[in-house]
Amino acid sequence: MENENIESTNQSYWTSVLIGGLISALILSVLGLVSQYMTVSSEPVGSSFTLSQAIGTFACLLGAIGGFIATRHYAKEYDITFPIGKGALIGLFTGLVAMVISTLITLLWTSLIDPDINQAVYDWSIANLEAQNMTEDQMEMAKGFIPEPGISAVTVGIGLLMLGILNAISGLIGAKVFASEED
C-alpha cells in the first residue's frame, strides 16, 4: 500500500463531508418528523418533556456523529493521516451540510406531503404552554421563544450553530481516532 500513512495534502474531503452530512440529515429528518407526529398525537398536559421529544433528542445526538462518520470515511478512503484541526473543519462542514439538507427535506415534506403538520405542532406548543399555569407576562415571553409554523430563520440559525459546533468536536475526536499518526 504505497499510500499508507501519508499525510493528507490535497485530497478533497467534500465527498466525506457530503456522506457524513447526508447520513446525519436523514437521521435528523426521519426521527425529527416521527417526533413531530408523536407530539401532535399526544395530549398537551403542560409537561415540557414527552416521549416524542426524547426521540427528537435521540435524532439530534445521532446527528452530531456526522463529523465522526466524515473523518472516518476521509481517513479510510485515502488511507491517510491528518491533524485534528482538519478533522474539526471536516466536522464543522458536515454539521452545516447536515442542517441544510435536513431543512430541505423538512421543507419538501411540509410543502408537498403534509402542509398542516407545522401549524399542528405550533398549536400543540401553545396549548402545552397554557397548561403550565404561568402568569400572563411569562406566557407572552415564553410564546416569543416558540418558533412560528414553518421554517424559521432563528431555528435554522441555531441548528447551524449547534450542529456545526458539535460536529466540529466529533470531527476532532474522529480525526484522533481514525487518522492519528500516534497509533
Partner 1 sequence: MKLYVPLLITSILLLIIGLGPGLFNQSSLGGYSWQHQIFDILCHQDVNRSYTIHGEAMAICSRCLGIYGSFAAGILLMPLISRFFTVINHLILKLILVTIVLNLVDVFFNALGIWTNTLHSRFLLGALFGGALAFYLTNEFFKQIDKPEESYGE
| Residues of this chain that bind partner 1 (CB under 8 A) | 46, 48-49, 53-54, 56-57, 60-61, 63-64, 84-85, 88, 129, 132, 134, 138, 141-143, 145-146, 158-159, 161-163, 165-166, 169, 172-173, 176-177, 180, 182-183
**What's the grid cell of residue 117?**
403538520
Residue among 15 and 54 whose Cβ is closer to partner 1: 54
Residue among 15 and 138 whose Cβ is closer to partner 1: 138
**Phi first, then psi: what are they for 109, rounded to 5°?**
-65, -45
User: Shortest approach of partner 1 to residue 45 CB, angstroms?
Assistant: 12
Sorted by sequence, the CB contacts under 8 Å of residue 88 that are 6+ apart come out as 67, 168, 169, 171, 172, 175
Residue among 15 and 131 whose Cβ is closer to partner 1: 131
User: Shortest approach of partner 1 to residue 32 CB, angstroms?
Assistant: 9
d(CA 167, CA 66): 6
Residue type, position 48, single letter = S
d(CA 111, CA 55): 23
User: Shortest approach of partner 1 to residue 147 CB, angstroms?
Assistant: 8
Residue among 2 and 72 whose Cβ is closer to partner 1: 72
Do 93 and 19 contact (CB within 8 A), yes or no?
A: no
